[in-house]
Structure 1
Amino acid sequence: MTTTTEPTARVLGASLRHVLATLGEPLVRVLAAPSGLGVEVADVVIHDPEDPPDAHPGDLVLVIGARGRSAAGAIRAAGRSGAAAVAVKNGSAVVNVATDAGIALIEVGHEARWEQVEALARGVVDAARAGGEADSGEVLGDLFSLAQTIATLTGGLVSIEDTASRVLAYSRAGDEVDELRRLSILGREGPERYLAMLREWGVYQRLRAGEGIVRIDERPDLGIRRRIAAGIHAGSQALGTIWVQEGTHPLTESAEIALLGASRALAPQLIRHRTLPSPELRLREDLLAGLLEGRLDVESVADDIGADPGKPAVVLGFSLPRDRAATDRQLRRAELVHLITVHTAAYRRSALVSVIGGRVYALLPDLPEHAETRILALAKEIVGTAQRHLDVRVRAALGGVVPHLSEAAASRGDADRVLAAMARGHGTADVASLADVRAEVLLSEVLAFLGEQPRIRDPRLADLIAHDAEHGGILVPAVLAYLDAFGDVRQAARELNIHPNTVRYRVRRAGEVSGIDLDDPAQRILTQLLLRL
């Protein structure tokens, strides 16, 4: 059965761009948009493949009874009817079908419920009909749910605030609410006269200082009941506070333990709240990801960002170290995205920035001739600013400048190769292009390949490594330094900060232990490669 709303009066609705931005990943993602994302969605219809097609121009067709290639017929029919888009599950198998039919293809996540997709999409379209697109602001339902859980565990009344004392969520309450909580919830932020007292008492200083419970005694003269509070942190960065007010009954014996656990559990939620991009920014991120992954055609992306697909383009890649906690890394990555977005937009209005696989990528289209020097300076400026303000080492890789936007994926591939070599310890610069570090990149890739081929090993070197593990690990470094210095024992000695005779002895001893002849060119290069694994 095919259902629609308002089947007779076809009116303009929301743009497909806004519908997608509101739903967002992981609920849906765009696989094809042959007419761009500016097409109007006038209605949302549900189509069962067993029923005859009944779509109209401007419809968003939800194909609920077929997946993958079994939805091909419904996609073609929707295209013939002039529908704006079709949504299916397992859509990657029918991208070509949708492209040939001239209709946008939306893939619905495997775990997503169709009724959820329909309700959200219909809400956007209905709001547009009523005179404006729906606000797709941050969804705080999870925070309210967590606040209620904390209230149950502590026996108190809970509110969750950000670092500016704005109330993000709170638990249900009865008549035992005190004046501070009542005014905070009504005003969505703490009243200034109460905040000033908390600052005077040193409460905020203790909350920012680190992990721990802060206790605030009851002050009947001020209308304040007893409270406990805990700061929410990502590493050393404060994200917010959980407040638990005591009601008519005392807090539970385990309230402080529960509050401490909640403050740790809430960190990812507040990071998500803080870093969740706007619908327009999410859409621009998806445009770049779709282009680089081959999900979106170049003409559609170029049209959406106002770029010339026939002009040169380049992709920059940025990475953060993985030596920090996941929550701290996620927060800093979001801040890095904002920083890169500002810098690249100043250079090119049509620039796109997106996070893919933990790395941040920036696309710079519409490049003039000989832009490499300016791009390198831009990358260095971004990295320098990021390292000063984020207090973390940021590395940048410049992909090759490609002649057309359609080759942006190749530019990204160059950037990925450089970042991978940097991550494996090859190269010391924080900003580099493939041309700058080609030897290091190729060596890194050779070593990565050898590392995946256990049959390419020399048992004599395995004996040397095993001997070194049992006797202080001094022979292998001496051999590598000797080979890197092309047999110059004095240079190797300076590198190791030991006497040249010690280098000679250790190299000779390594030959005795392993049987390797370092005077033989083939054995020499094999040793130099395999000892680096």
Structure 2
Amino acid sequence: MRPPQTAPAADHLRHAAAALSGPLIEVLLVPPDARRALSSVVIAEPYDEPRPYDEALVLLIGARGEAALRGLIAAGRGGATAVAVRTGADPEAVEVLRRAAAELGLALLGVSDDARWEQVEAVARTVVDAVRQAPDVAEEAADGDLFSLAQTLATLTGGVVSVEDAANRVLAYSRSGDRADEVRRLSILGHACPDAYLAVLREAGVYARLRAGEEVVEVAERPDLGARRRFVAGIRAGDRLLGTVWIQEGPQALDGRTAELLLGASRLATLLLIRHPVRPGRDGGLREELAAGLLEERVPPGALAGRLGIGPDCRTTVLGIDLRQTVGADGPALELGRARAAGIVAVHAAAYRRTAVTTQSDGRLYVLVPDPAAGPGHTAPPRPGASPGHLADAKLLTWTVELVTTLRRHLGSPVQAAIAQPAPRLGDAPTARRSADRILRVMGRDPERTVATYAQVRAAVVLDEILGLLAESPTVHDPALRRLAEHDRRNGTELCESLLRYLDAFGEVKEVAAGLHIHPNTLRHRIRRAAQLSGVDLADPDQRLVALLELRRMRAPARLP
């Protein structure tokens, strides 16, 4: 039974086309109104008897150029979704095939003369399986490089990481120093897992479990073979095992979330092995670019939705992360820290939710967390006794706190994260991003605070916006308070600060006096003096409110974006 489709047919087709495009295959046509999904790969010849090709990518062998036209037509009439054919060097023949494919509603892929059909078939089956069963990882990669991914995972878990392909050849690994055990050392030197240890793994059924489904498997230590305890997860595309990611325990215990992080890293490694079956390389990070474009309102939501395998009406939560790196620090060091943080966040996000995507914009990191289970405008029922306004999902809030704690530990800077109100639709993500930015601006006044939701700082955010509007309107102010501030500057007094604290505390004289370390009578004298010099009538609620806003605005630091 075929797994249910999680994205429109056209989106699945575009996922597959993007993943297949490369030196072997050129995408010549993708119908914008495609209606058929893509679920299998079939090999056919132009003169085969007519047969069903339901939702298949047909590899049309045995002919090239216009000689393949008959087979292309038969595939289209048989219900195929796409056809791959050697087009030949004649541009007119290519145009004939393209027109025929367009009339039949087929996607057309041109296969290079240098490509072997068995090579094309292997890549095509892997890509189709990945897009059909896991569209969210079809365009995913951590930093576009397996070595970067391995090092990020090692940093997060405290272990020693290696990545192997399906033939147990070592493709990438983290730095290990003196923490590597004998099996790890032999694997790196020989570029493959030692045969003796492979035999132990097979006998224990490790690979059978990895082939059976997505699972993190613990492998006990084997002192006789020089092997410490390990965890392993499969790099999967559909039901195919493309490779494995390993974490070897060093002298120190692994992080408590190692299994979860390993699972996230294995998902991020999928596309690197799909698009580069022999030797991994770098990916353009299209998902991250589209996410940044959406947040900056340069890219329509449908473009990112297609890459994530979700609908554009999917409710999405936006997290903003400010690394709070030291301004004026060495430029390369800042960039290195930001890249390191992006890798950490990407692994955590993939572990938390398959469709989560991490991107950067204006020096900040953002995580988009779609919730396919919630339709547009969906809101969870409030918990008993909960305050009004947005309450972040408890699991998401806990995850964000753990993420920020990890970033602070590894970066050594007071990282802060903001959880915006959920965007009813993916297209509302730019508004949510602005909300996250406002929360982060307010949080900047309290470096000890790690995470905040809109509900937790709602009043502070609204007040910050009001003060910002006042600052942008210099004609809207109370000259009486300006005169009082000028008196403080000339005489070295603290009447403005005393009056502000008095208004903030709702007139609680003893509390304010204690905070200022003065006698209550001294405070009362200051308040009477402030009222006399400014002319503010503190018995008038309107004048009290204006005075409070004016004093807050004068004390507020310059507003950062």
Pairwise TM-score range, normalised by the shorter structure:
0.3 to 0.5
**TM-score, normalised on structure 2?**
0.45
**TM-score, normalised on structure 1?**
0.48
Q: Larger relative contact order (C-alpha < 8 A, sep ≥ 6)?
A: 2
